[in-house]
Amino acid sequence: MIAVRPGPPLAGTVAVDGSKNAALPLLAAAAALRRPVRLSNLPANTDVEIMLALVEQAGWHVARPVGEPTTALILPTETRHMAPALAQAAHIRASYYLVPALLARHGEARLPWPGGCRIGARGMELHFKVYEAFGDRSAVDDSGYRVEAVAPRRGTVSLVLPFRSRGATVAALLRAVTTGRPLRLGEPNLSPEVVCVLAALKSVGWETRAGERLLTLVPPSSGQVDEVAWEVPGDKIEAGTLACAIAATGGTARIAGVRGQDVGPLVAALRRLGIPADTESNVLSVRAQAARPTGLALRAIASLSPGGLDADFEPPLMALALSLPGDHLFADAINPGRHGNLLPQLARLGAEIDEISSTECRLTGPQRLTGAGVEATDIRTGSALVVAGLTAQGVTTVGGLDQLRRGHADLPGKLRALSADICEVTP
């Protein structure tokens, strides 16, 4: 578990790891491409390590260059076995990204129901509709699901998503790659994680056009690119968590390695609260020592729209808002079970939060928190509890370190680099 106490304002410079949420679809894209891909800036968190293991178990060769711990080479192999039973796929949500590559290699994909954070029902029905649009067949049972490639088809695949699902958007992109068919996708998800997959495909010759209403993908017209090298962008969520921790302690610090456009909604939220923050040259600067709390209400509403607030920014913002004046509203209908995880844990620290519904809540700050034992029931709940612990009087112990490590290789270490009073302890 982690023990954290309030201390001096955080200060200094720290660099974020590569983004888990971008690395996972890029690994699946590398497998779908069926040619050697060099992927750099991979984070060393548990989910990414499991995904690398799944790629290898499914028949690809994964090489880790000596002296380059954040790089992996994804190499296709000629040997073809029966479609593997990938039991580890039950431990991460993003295992479904591998379906297109498995269909191309084995003709079918048999996977257990995806795991990951327990933050509400996130079904596979829309994914199955995507595969059906390509002519594939799907079936489900108590243990998982099966997708089978039927007769190959030609021509453009056209479909409209009923909501902007990141998983379904990536599924459509990668199935287009493995079938070599043009794609017209209505109402796509254009989060930074999807955009980086589009950029990766563009680098190997695919013609991509992405607008808020329509995304199109056209196969390469010329030969294959010999050398494929992609880089995972910096983790915007880790940067946002660190920024909220800096702001909560009244500190001034710099967070390197994150693209400004990826944290725009988070920066806007900090400024509304009166905390100076800006981005330049892939560095997010937070100057909370110069903060002038506005008392304005923060409306942190998770959104799938382009430029909207990523749902994973909401928990650390909630922890920060507890220390700032204002009547603040939070909503996350994307992950309907997340508040059910987070709010009871914050209440253990003394937070008073009015639960309007299962996906909406309101709080009035500032509030005085007191250290207590809490549990990281999912990745973002864990990071938010660490932020709250930096302001709570006394010692806060956060259990569930394995959950936190699924998304962060070493969040406590990064906070220690900024002078936080935090350490791992044996229960």
The pLDDT value recorded for residue 141 is 86
Asked whether residue 121 carries a pLDDT value surpassing 70, the answer given is: no
Last residue of a domain, one of 204, 231, 258: 231
| pLDDT category of residue 92 using cuts at 50, 70 and 90 | confident
Q: What torsion do the CA atoms of 303, 306, 312, 318 make, to the nearest 10 degrees?
A: -60
pLDDT band at 153 (very low <50, low <70, confident <90, very high): confident
CA distance 40 to 364: 43
Q: In this prediction, what percent of the chain has a pLDDT beyond 70? A: 96
Does 82 have pLDDT greater than 90? no
CATH for 315: 3.65.10.10
Q: Which amino acid is at 180?
A: G
Instruction: Mark whether 207 and 273 lie in a shared domain.
Output: no
Number of domains in the chain: 2
Beta strand 252-256 pairing with 183-186: unpaired
Are 9 and 123 contained in the same domain?
Answer: no
- Asked whether residue 210 falls in the same domain as residue 353, the answer is no
- Look at residue 127 in the predicted model and tell me its pLDDT: 94
Residue that terminates a domain, selected from 178, 210, 231: 231
Q: Residues 78, 164: one domain?
A: yes
Regarding whether 34 and 11 lie in a shared domain, the answer is no
Q: Please write the tens of the pLDDT for every residue from 339-349.
A: 999 999 999 99
State the pLDDT at residue 408.
Answer: 93
- Looking at the structure, do residues 254 and 174 belong to the same domain, yes or no? no
Mean pLDDT of the residues in the chain: 93
- Decide if pLDDT at 119 tops 60: no
Domain edge (last residue) among 212, 231, 250: 231
174 shares its domain with 57: yes
pLDDT of residue 272: 96
Q: Residue 151 — very low, low, confident or very high, per pLDDT cuts 50/70/90?
A: confident
Quote the CA–CA distance of 282 and 255 in Å, as a whole number: 9
Find the mean pLDDT for residues 208-213: 94
What average pLDDT does the segment 368-376 reach?
96
What pLDDT score does 427 carry?
72
Q: State the residue range of the domain holding 274.
A: 2-17+234-424
* Closest alpha carbon to 248 in 110, 118, 415: 415
One domain for residues 215 and 281: no
**Cβ contact 246:288 at 8 Å:** yes
Query: Please, are residues 23 and 230 in contact by the beta-carbon 8 Å criterion?
Result: no
Task: Return d(Cα 143, Cα 110) in angstroms, integer.
Answer: 10
Q: What is the mean pLDDT of the segment spanning 257-273?
A: 96
User: What are 164-184's pLDDT values in tens digits?
Assistant: 999 999 999 999 999 999 999
Q: Are residues 219 and 242 in the same domain?
A: no
Instruction: For residue 226, give every residue at least 6 positions away whose Cβ sits within 8 Å of its Cβ, in sequence order, or none.
Output: none
- In this structure, are 290 and 184 located in the same domain? no
CB 89 within 8 A of CB 73: no
Higher pLDDT pick, 142 / 253:
253
pLDDT higher than 90, residue 91: no
Which of the residues are catalytic?
117
One-letter-per-residue 3-state SS of the chain: CEEEECCCCCEEEEECCECHHHHHHHHHHHHHHCCCEEEECCCCCHHHHHHHHHHHHCCCEEECCCCCCCCEEEECCCCCCCCCCCHHHHHCHHHHHHHHHHHHHHCEEEEECCCCCCCCCCCCHHHHHHHHHCCCEEEEECCEEEEECCCCCCCCEEEECCCCCHHHHHHHHHHHHHHCCCEEEECCCCCHHHHHHHHHHHHCCCEEEECCCEEEEECCCCCCCCCCEEECCECHHHHHHHHHHHHHCCCEEEEECCCHHHHHHHHHHHHHCCCCEEEECCEEEEEHHHCCCCCCCCEEEECCCCCCECHHHHHHHHHHHCCCCEEEEEECCCCCCHHHHHHHHHHHCCCCEEECCCCEEEEEECCCCECCEEECCCHHHHHHHHHHHCCCECCEEEECHHHHHHHCCCHHHHHHHCCCEEEECCC
- What pTM was computed for the model? 0.94
Pick the range with the lowest mean pLDDT from 74-83, 182-191, 267-276, 333-342: 74-83
